[in-house]
Amino acid sequence: MTERDTELAALVHSLKLRAPQDAADLLAPLPRATVESALAALPPDLAARIGSRLADALAPLDELSGDVGSLMDPVRASFAAGATVGEAIAWLRAAPEPQEITYLYVNDAEGRLAGLVVPRDLLLNAADAELAAIMLHQPFRLAPDDSLGDAVQATVKRHYPVYPVCDADGHLVGQVRGWKLFEQQALELTAQSGRMVGINKEERLDTGFWAAFKMRHPWLQINLMTAFLAAFVVGSFEDTITRIVALAAFLPLLAGQSGNTGCQALAITLRGLTLGDFESVPVRRLVVKEAMLGTLNGFLTGLVAGAAMWFTAGGTKGDPQALTLALVIVLAMTGACLASGIFGVLVPLILRRFGADPATASSIFLTTGTDIAGMGLMLLLATTLVL
């Protein structure tokens, strides 16, 4: 046993004696290769508990290597198709830490992955039975150059403990433990809330001041440019606002309500993109659903806002057009929330279509769209129905 193996064995023994959080704290400052070797040597359930607490510490390293190969472990149990159950059992008995072996991989005559065998199946078959006769043929596999995003989407509904990794020719080159991919999925979901407002996913609590400034400020400038569009729309109805002053008090209310409706649809869409739900749910179906939700929510909240407008304009100011103004608010709120629901689905999908990160600053573009649609609709209705 080499000195490195001795040190690794001592580390693994120490990890087994510690609580998961203490073990994670011990591993956090160590080199990435050492962390992976130590986790691979631990029982899968313990490794998963420790790994979940290492998410924040390991995330920057994972994001530097965004493919399956960066998470790959070596294969420990690989057999030729002609190997027998008895030979596999004898090998397992002699193998160090056989409890760490999840699958026995079976290769064909050309060395390509042909199937896998779960160790418990060895007990249910005769010793002279060949592994090729009892294996699961052509198991699901990943490629080392698959992006982590694609790998997460491909495995999120499978929940296998280990995934084989094969090259373009089908040769087994490694394996990836499921908990590592689930960890990536969790990191992706937690990063979305920040990216929706222009915060780079690489920014963390300990990111330096100037580094954080350079990551955030460009998106704020873009937000300012898009906000000018909404200001231009409102400015086009300056005469209407001047003559119907009560509308000015309801512009922020309309913008906030439609913006919240759009953000709800946006969050669901981003979650669907991350989890691969669009494979089973057509885009048109989601657009129709969010449009209907936006319409119903907008109408119900519009009734409350319309009643407030009627009370404000009619009850306190005696405006004879108070009822018409209330109708304007109801219609505008309904239309704005309808539009925001549709925008919440389409914005991230359009960003992805153009090759951009679907979560990157989505809310900036969403806010601009909902403001223009909502405020423009309300002022247009007021101009048409009241003036």
Q: By three-state DSSP, how is residue 162 classified? A: strand
Describe the strand order of the beta sheet including 104-107 as a list of residue ranges. Answer: 78-80, 104-107, 113-117, 136-137
Same domain, 134 and 23: no
Q: What is the pLDDT of residues 247-274, one digit of tens each?
A: 777 888 888 888 889 888 888 888 787 6
Same domain, 108 and 59: no
State the pLDDT at residue 103: 92
| CA atoms within a 13 Å half-sphere pointing along the CA-CB vector of 90 | 8
Same domain, 77 and 60: no
Same domain, 13 and 89: no
Same domain, 331 and 363: yes
What's the DSSP call for residue 104?
E
What's the DSSP call for residue 98?
G
State the pLDDT at residue 132: 92
**Counting beta carbons within 10 angstroms of the beta carbon of residue 306, is it exposed (0 to 12), middle (13 to 18) or buried (19 or more)?**
buried
What's the DSSP call for residue 38?
H
Same domain, 243 and 314: yes
State the pLDDT at residue 62: 39
Same domain, 237 and 131: no
State the pLDDT at residue 60: 40
The residue from 64, 88, 112 where one domain ends is 64
pLDDT in tens, the chain (387 residues): 566 677 778 888 888 888 877 788 788 777 666 777 787 778 766 776 777 666 544 444 334 346 888 888 888 888 998 999 999 999 988 888 787 788 999 999 888 999 999 998 998 999 999 999 999 999 999 999 888 777 877 887 777 889 999 999 999 998 998 877 776 665 555 555 455 554 555 555 566 788 778 777 777 787 778 778 777 877 777 777 776 777 777 888 888 888 889 888 888 888 787 667 787 788 999 999 999 999 999 999 999 999 988 888 776 556 678 888 899 999 999 999 999 999 999 988 888 887 766 666 677 778 888 888 888 888 888 888 876
Domain-located, residue 119: yes
CATH code for the domain of 284? 1.10.357.20
Structural domain count of the chain: 3
The residue from 193, 218, 238 where one domain ends is 193
| Whole-angstrom distance, CA of residue 369 vs CA of residue 112 | 52
Amino acid making up residue 216: R
Same domain, 230 and 338: yes
Q: What is the largest CA-CA distance in the chain?
A: 96
| Whole-angstrom distance, CA of residue 149 vs CA of residue 356 | 14
Whole-Å CA distances, 93 to 37, 122, 133, 280: 22, 12, 22, 44
Scan for tokens 């219609």, then name that residue: 331
Which domain does 124 fall in, by range?
71-193
Alpha helices by DSSP H, listed for 17-114, are 20-27, 32-41, 44-53, 55-64, 85-94
Same domain, 237 and 115: no
Scan for tokens 């002022």, then name that residue: 379
- Residue 320 has which token pair? 């004879």
The residue from 193, 224, 243 where one domain ends is 193
Write phi, then psi, for 329 (nearest 5 degrees): -65, -45
State the pLDDT at residue 183: 67
Domain-located, residue 380: yes
Same domain, 217 and 302: yes
- Residue 7 has which token pair? 């040190």
Q: By three-state DSSP, how is residue 245 classified? A: coil
| Whole-angstrom distance, CA of residue 165 vs CA of residue 105 | 11
Q: Of all helices (H) and strands (E), which one includes residue 151?
A: helix 148-155
Whole-Å CA distances, 215 to 195, 203, 336: 11, 8, 31
Tell me which long-range contacts 306-311 makes (C-beta under 8 A, separation of at least 24). Answer: 306/330, 306/333, 309/246, 309/250
Same domain, 230 and 379: yes
State the pLDDT at residue 186: 58
